[in-house]
Amino acid sequence: MKTLAKEIGLIRVDKAGPAYTLRTDISGEGWKDIGAGAFVNRKYFDLAGISMEDKTLFFEGATIQDTWNPTKPQASPPGNLIALADVMTSKPLSDLDAIAVVNGFGNTQHANAAKLTFDQTIYMRLRVFVVDMDTQAGGYMVPLSDNQLGSLSPTTSDRVYCTRIVQFGNNADGTYALYPVRYLLRANAKEEPEFEYLMRLKRSYELQQEPDVD
């Protein structure tokens, strides 16, 4: 049994008028503005050592660990919100795919976005944080919804892709921050019958041919 871990760092964003601006001097590496008030960060687990041994990775469990709720300007009124998606997949996600995930909980909202299938979605956690009446004066947003889904389907791919997507609503001006997150996978590498392994390898290869971002 192996425990795999990958971290994605802090993001801090300034809101002024209709525009959200990524604070690159403070945010962790890899954050990208993809428009529509959304930002994405992509990492991946490198499984090349396992795939070279002609073994299949069977997942036993997946989760994410984070430290704090998102922070907000103290002047934020009730109803301001942030949508947050943490996704582990067997295929890379384009910018359009990422926006579709955070907007549609895995279903495409754009003609050019590729819908994630059950098997491709190893693990996904989708949350919405809001400002409410009781905590309006504080610095933190509170969770409104928290949903988890995924297949934990085995893979022969040499990568599992980790994608964090943040999308802001029409919020008050000021600075917003989301804190670092750790992606965890527990897995066993096992040999399969040759036919099953070759079919799974073929499918992994097909997914690898889609656009990839390191």
Interatomic CA distance for residues 30 and 13, integer angstroms: 14
DSSP character at residue 155: B
Angle, CA of 35, 24 and 139, to the nearest 5°: 85
Is the model's pLDDT at 187 over the cut of 80?
Answer: yes
Is the model's pLDDT at 76 over the cut of 60?
Answer: yes
Neighbours of 35 (CB within 10 A): 9
Instruction: Tell me what the mean pLDDT of segment 14-35 comes to.
Output: 95
Instruction: Tell me what the mean pLDDT of segment 153-173 comes to.
Output: 91
Pairing label, strands 32-35, 121-130: unpaired
Instruction: Please provide the size of the chain in residues.
Output: 214
| pTM for this predicted structure | 0.85
Is the model's pLDDT at 127 over the cut of 70?
Answer: yes
Of residues 123, 117, 120, 2, the one with CA closest to residue 57: 2
Interatomic CA distance for residues 16 and 19, integer angstroms: 6
Quick one: pLDDT at residue 53?
Answer: 64
| Residue 89's pLDDT band (cuts 50, 70, 90) | very high
119-130 burial, b for 16+ CB within 10 Å, e for fewer? bbbbbbbbbbbb
Instruction: Tell me what the mean pLDDT of segment 3-29 comes to.
Output: 95
Is the model's pLDDT at 14 over the cut of 90?
Answer: yes
Give me 34's structure tokens.
Answer: 């993809």
Is the model's pLDDT at 16 over the cut of 70?
Answer: yes
